[in-house]
Amino acid sequence: MNGQPHLLMCPPQYYGIEYEINPWMSRARQVDHDLAKQQWESLHRIVTERGARVSLQSPVQGLPDMVFTANAGLVYGDMVVLSRFRHPQRQGEHAENSRWFAQHGFTVFDLAPEMYFEGAGDALFCGETLFAGYRSRSDMTSHQKVAELVGQSVLAMELVDPSFYHLDTCFCPLAPGVAAYYPGAFDHYGQQVLKAGIETLIEVSRDEAQAFACNAVVVGQVVVTNVGCPRFHHTLRDHGFIPIATPLGEFVKAGGSAKCLTLRLDGEEAAAWRMDPQLKVVTTKPPRS
């Protein structure tokens, strides 16, 4: 608890636009593999330099989106609720994720196959509440089940703009009681839920949200995003955070950015359970293979 931040990342060896499952993806607009590798390595370096330990998941050919480890599952203490992907193109990742978490000391929980749940892509703790997005990828039934599993308040919000298909594309918890969000991604009910549930809510403009401002990795006070969101960075500084911009344009082509490329394994900075002495956190080093 409260030890070294621990992230899971997956090198972009087999990353590419092989299918189109969100409005950002176009097979006509292919990835520059060298540039993608470079951008991924920059992100890896930034988070490592800022004190995070990074575990690596081995990439698998034919599963290009494995690079987006945020969608592998939802971590709560030493338990992980594995993702059940909506699109068949990503369903092959399930077995890989299951194996990785089991080998690394996690208690793996598998939802029923008919449920759709896309892990930390759609379920993010802020304080003692798990905010959850549904409709586009995850469904309500899975969030109800997750609420049972984690025993925390789970507030589900409908995602109404197809461009912001995962909650982590339009909502970013920064610290307990502090989060950034793009209001246009939510309906009236969702906006009310966020306003009522989060003390300090930083509004992100549409253009910066489209530059994936909300898809940020938070390590301590450091907030790493794609480039192209200067106003958001300015606001972050006003709130005492240290924003860092790093180009991630090759991943935006697939609808992902900094947050999507990482999965926090010891609890996000904003998650109150990180500080809970009752919860066991997996800290063991990965086995040598």
Partner 1 sequence: MNLQQAGIPGEFHETVEIQGHIMDSLILPKILDCITSGGGSFRIVQVNIGQTRKDPSYASIEVSAASQETLDRILATIGDHGAASVAGHDCHVVLADCDGAFPEGFYSTTNQRTEVRLNGHWIEVDRQEMDCGVAVDVPQGIATCVPMSDVRSGQSFVVGHAGVRVHPAGRHAQARGFEFMNSQVSTEKPKGIATAQVARELARCHRSQQEILVVAGPAVVHTGSGEHLCKLIRGGYVQHLFVGNALATHDIEQALFGTSLGVKLESGNIVEAGHEHHLRAINRIRRLGGIRRAIAQGELTRGIMYDCVQHNVDFLLAGSIRDDGPLPEVITDALEAQREMRRRIQNVSFCLMIATTLHSIAVGNLLPASVGVVCVDINPSTVIKLSDRGSFQTVGLVTDVEPLLRGLVADLQETIG
Residues with a catalytic annotation lie at 166, 260
Q: Which residues pair with 126 in a beta bridge?
A: 129
Q: What are the tokens at 178? A: 């502090």
CB of residue 138 to partner 1, shortest distance in Å? 11
Give the footprint of partner 1 on this chain (CB under 8 A).
128, 134-135, 139-141, 143-144, 147-148, 151-158, 189, 192-193, 196-197
CB of residue 50 to partner 1, shortest distance in Å? 33
CB of residue 142 to partner 1, shortest distance in Å? 10
Judged by beta carbon, residue 155 or residue 227, the one nearer partner 1 is: 155
Residue at 168: amino acid letter: D
Judged by beta carbon, residue 139 or residue 208, the one nearer partner 1 is: 139
Phi, psi of 143 (to 5 degrees): -65, -35
CB of residue 253 to partner 1, shortest distance in Å? 29
Judged by beta carbon, residue 53 or residue 145, the one nearer partner 1 is: 145
Sheet holding 217-219, edge to edge: 217-219, 222-225, 242-245
Alpha helices in 70-227 (DSSP H): 88-91, 93-103, 140-150, 188-197, 206-210
Q: How far apart are CA 39 and CA 34, in angstroms?
A: 9
Judged by beta carbon, residue 85 or residue 134, the one nearer partner 1 is: 134
- Cβ atoms of 213 and 180 closer than 8 Å: yes
Look at residues 212, 210, 222, 201 and name the one whose alpha carbon lies nearest to residue 258: 212
- Cβ atoms of 200 and 239 closer than 8 Å: yes
Q: Which residues pair with 225 in a beta bridge?
A: 245
CB of residue 143 to partner 1, shortest distance in Å? 7
Judged by beta carbon, residue 53 or residue 135, the one nearer partner 1 is: 135
* CB atoms closer than 10 angstroms to residue 174: 23
- Could you list the beta-strand ranges (E) of 147-241: 153-158, 171-175, 178-181, 200-203, 217-219, 222-225
